[in-house]
Amino acid sequence: MDSFHPILLQWYRDNRRQLPWRDTTDPYLIWLSEVILQQTRVNQGLSYYHRFVTTWPDIRSLAVAHEDEVLKMWQGLGYYSRARNLHQAAREILVRYDGVFPSSFEELKQIKGIGNYTAAAIASIAFGLPEAVIDGNVYRVLSRIFSIDTPINSKHAKHVFGQLASQLLYSYDPGTYNQAIMEFGALQCTPKNPDCPNCPLNNQCMAFARNKVLDFPVKLPKKPVSDRFFNYLIPFVSDNHINKVYIRKRTENDIWKGLYEFPLIESSNNPEFEQIIQSEQWYRMIAENNYVLHNQSRLYKHRLTHRLIHARFFIVKLAKKLDSADEFALSLIGQNDLGKYAFPRLIDRYLEESGGFEMLTS
């Protein structure tokens, strides 16, 4: 494998994408790009990166932002815990390190939301430290070249692949090497249809020699997907001839924490509206308020990692404001304020299809 480093680095010089975080050693910009690109394709993440950098060009400006602003900027990327951790980490760095990123791998790992991978990326690219990165691309490249059948989602994978990655690390320029092997996995050694005949490392690839490239990486079966049934009420009232609607912020330790939604009644199946209005939660929320079912949506399905959300939206016109708003932590907002709040992508889809507040007057 003596030729591994020079071949990989030459491939990177010839084929790498021109990305704004590639030619910087600013740990803030490197960290921001790594967090955005977790679970996100580069083409999608690039626009978010530019918006974040334009709005919050440094760690201090991000730290003093309101969490709702950060979540709103993140809207559409999913996995919102990344955005919350990003914001909390910025505040932590501001308080503990006076806004200056720590330069050691171990200190970086102590910061909220920064694990081994992100710490290694920052340490190697920003500070030139010999720390090997392990992401999905690296798992794929190493598993194929060395024909490693350890499942990458098993508890042993980090140890097996971590040791190998550290042995292969090009210590003279670890930052460039780490970017090179990740880029190689993203562009050359792709999950499907890799261009093996034209791969510069094919003569070193054990999987290619055995015609088993697509058998790697090995993965354990995924966890079964569970179903959840969300019945969103959209109660609105006319206040001085302006339609206003109730929303709430999700604060529970559940999906979409910190995002906003309409009042929710979760059930064990897909009930009809007549069944919803017989529930205890409906009675506590709506009580004796007169109402009219204004509209009912189609069934929406939204897949998360281990959950499938089945959701419907019921627009309910109320005769007066809800007496139970405080009990259910509901806020009454007007048409022009709807766009200020960060909603889950599921609700965004519904609002896009229904025309936002136009749904209340259609």
Q: Which domains are seen in the chain, by residue range?
A: 4-215 (1.10.340.30), 226-360 (3.90.79.10)
What Å distances lie between residue 235 and 32, 260, 282, 315, 320, CA to CA? 38, 15, 11, 6, 10
pLDDT classification of 359: cutoffs 50, 70, 90? low
Residue-wise pLDDT for 296-317, tens only, equals: 999 999 999 889 999 999 999 9
Determine the 3-state secondary structure of 358 from DSSP: helix
34 classed as catalytic = yes
Asked whether residue 362 carries a pLDDT value surpassing 60, the answer given is no
Q: How far, in Å, CA of 286 to CA of 2, rounded?
A: 72
Contact by Cβ (8 Å): 249, 344 = no
pTM for the full predicted model: 0.88
Q: How far, in Å, CA of 139 to CA of 156, rounded?
A: 13
Q: Catalytic: which of 34, 106, 183, 274?
A: 34
pLDDT classification of 107: cutoffs 50, 70, 90? very high
Q: Which residue has the tokens 């791998």?
A: 105
Residue-wise pLDDT for 121-147, tens only, equals: 999 999 999 999 999 999 999 999 999
Q: How far, in Å, CA of 318 to CA of 290, rounded?
A: 6
Q: What is the mean pLDDT of residues 97-115?
A: 96
Contact by Cβ (8 Å): 326, 247 = no
Q: For the chain, what is the mean pLDDT?
A: 94
Asked whether residue 327 carries a pLDDT value surpassing 90, the answer given is yes
Asked whether residue 357 carries a pLDDT value surpassing 60, the answer given is no
First to last CA, the chain: 67
Q: Supply the pLDDT for residue 339.
A: 86
Q: Supply the pLDDT for residue 259.
A: 96
Q: How far, in Å, CA of 89 to CA of 113, rounded?
A: 7
Residue-wise pLDDT for 253-301, tens only, equals: 999 999 999 999 999 999 999 999 999 999 999 988 999 999 999 999 9
Q: Cis link prior to 20 (omega < 30° from 0)?
A: no
